[in-house]
Structure 1
């Protein structure tokens, strides 16, 4: 029997006007250096000088002196590739995402700078932690905690679908991350099964990854970039008229639908057909599989997959929904993340002058 959850890797493109021509030679290095100085300054304004200075490094401090690379590829984000490395001091595994400036378009450099600025300011158990940043004239490396449990996509593929308690517990973890991010004025904009990973193979603890499309917002911010991954994208994103974190909540609805059913609510043979179904909010909860889903579970989905974002649940509202509450009354205590002791151990070596 064929897998009912296709692998949606095709991202929507940003509007052409946001992509510059390929930068050449020294202009790349100079413009990138300027961008990253501004990123660092804004991050310091948000979270303080010490939390940034202790994690953001330039020569003579080099990533090769701090980490050894084993050549194991972990994946690819929307702007850079990710490999595994180990701390030369502690042996702790980490994930390293590398951006090579010479091969990047101006628009991609802007996306990279935005990703670093957003990720530097995030600190939550269900958000993959950015441990350090290493910048040189040729490249930028993000050192992140290594989540080796695999993607949520592969769990669904192996299990075909989740039962309601497991789906609700998974949704709650994602909601905790989204509620934290939205409360701090950050929207992810590419929430999907592939960007939800487990911290360990024997664990059900989820973390959000890949902040390449994330951005900051305020109550007055209007966004018009059509980006994300088509199967998960909200109607208002396709219309290039959205605000706040509503598009993330639609994407969460798609994820929960897939967890419960094992297939996408807006499948189609062509992109045009998928877009048409998304714009109409045309999905169905019929058939034997949905007979086993409770009314509360179906109500939860209907309140997330609303075409009009003003009628959609916010993360805070979704956390209070009866379907989440009834399946997550008992929550396991959080285990201490192994990167936390290492972060404290490195703190005294941080230099404000770096």
Structure 2
């Protein structure tokens, strides 16, 4: 077991400890406010549970339960009374909501709802129960190269996605990655968009933002671009392997001075007999010159990461599915279940499969990417028609999961699934009611399918179980 404490180990590094974030400047040039619905109210749709479980730069994190599904979410509650009266500070809420509502990537925490009342803002997000990356390092001590590589693959996939959308996070650190564990596999989720902003390619951002131990030299200088996130991720990798920061000091000023001096202790990796690929990777990430530092997408493909990435078990050949109401209903049921019932820690294999298939880091799977992974399958087009619920020509994360998930995984949760679908516990559900429920929950429809003959009919709980577990 490792121990993370605040004792100093010299000017060049420090034993890893939790650190505060600060942000001296923001750029809100293209931000416009996304209003929450004035016809909905947080208190009527969710129940706040116990006290705070965490906090961000602004606001506290609590748990809440959705009345309609009984599902547990995390919610960031930001008191208006606690915000400064100046306009710019208030815009930080708008910035976070706008960015989080637009991003859609399996390694980035998803925001599901946003509310505002007279006293507070409420950002409802998925709940990750296993703690953050800092707590895992504290619990397990130094990570193996294999485990660290799988974690860094997810981190760089998230960063490559953000950067491709002209978004820079600016506070990449251990505490800002939540972890779900299952049988030794870790699913990583990037959180806390309090310091996030947009950037224009080729233009530098100004000011200092982030957490001092993770700051890139150019951030300290006040002129930087999105590669500051890559440096910070390099600091994370260094800490995972050594349980020390690469730079330390008696004060923030000392730490910044040591960072800009670029005196990184790489000899420790030679002493621990680390692989040459790891040492090369760290030097690429902690390159003091942002122009020559590798990008997040390049980092995700580095030989050290690829060396330790296993190919998750590929499901059986994709079954040909006709465009029928029953097949669409089956796929919709699976999609709803993986989004609302199956715990994310049970999706770790499918999670890594998705990241491996998503070669261009756009957070979706194209038809061509499916073909490259599964082979030139004649059924791909038919499969896409069934699984592409919102008909946008690609498979989003949960659409993909619903396509490849094994029936045994869903079978473990049939009780919870039926508890929501068959609230009266009658053993059967009117098909038109089930369709309406799914269309509302999934924000889509069966509109182009003719199922008039089925509307008055009923489907049994047993039929539903057989459909989704086959």
Task: Tell me the SS of whatever aligns to 1:189.
Answer: coil
Task: Pick closer, same or farther for the CA change 1:204–1:126 going to 2, 3 Å.
Answer: same
How many pairs are equivalent? 316
**1:332, distance to aligned residue in structure 2 (A):** 6.4
**Aligned pair 1:310/2:291, yes or no?**
yes
1:206 aligns with 2:202: no
- Given the alignment of the two structures, is residue 92 of structure 1 paired with residue 187 of structure 2, yes or no? no
1:230 and 1:201 map into 2 onto residues whose CA distance is 32
- The aligned residue for residue 43 of structure 1 is none
Q: Is the 8 A contact 1:261 1:289 kept in 2?
A: no
Q: Which residue matches 2:57? A: 78
Q: Deviations over 1:79-132 (max 9, x none)?
A: 111100111111111010012223201232121211111111111100000001
- Cα 1:208/1:344, change in 2 over 3 Å: farther
Identify which of structures 1 and 2 has the higher relative contact order when contacts are C-alpha pairs closer than 8 Å and 6+ apart: 1
Partner residue of 1:272? 253
- 1:2 CA drift (Å): 5.0
Structure number with greater Rg is 2
1:228 aligns with one of 210, 213, 219: 210
Partner-residue secondary structure (3-state), 1:311: coil
Q: Tell me, which stretches of 5 or more residues in structure 2 are unaligned? A: 6-14, 316-336, 342-397, 403-436, 445-470
The residue that corresponds to 2:441 in the other structure is: 346
CA distance in 2, matches of 1:338, 1:346: 9
Residue of structure 2 in register with 1:39 after alignment: 33
Which one of the candidate residues 275, 280, 292 is aligned to 1:294? 275
Indicate how the Cα distance of structure 1 residues 242 and 85 shifts in structure 2: closer, same or farther if over 3 A, else same: same
**TM-score normalised per structure 1:** 0.82
1:172-210 Cα distance to aligned partner (Å, 9 max, x none): 010111111111111110000000011357651000000
Instruction: Find out whether 1:155 has 2:136 as its counterpart.
Output: yes
Q: Which residue of 2 aligns with 1:3?
A: 4
C-alpha displacement at 1:169, in angstroms? 0.6
Which residue number corresponds to residue 240 of structure 1?
Answer: 222
Distance 1:169 1:312 in 2: 21
Q: Show structure 1 runs of 5+ residues with no match.
A: 20-34, 41-55, 350-354
C-alpha distance in 1 between matches for 2:53 and 2:181: 14
Q: Separation in 2 of the partners of 1:326 and 1:344?
A: 43
Secondary structure, counterpart of 2:259 in structure 1: helix
Q: Any conservation in 1 of the 2:18–2:134 contact (CA below 8 Å)?
A: no
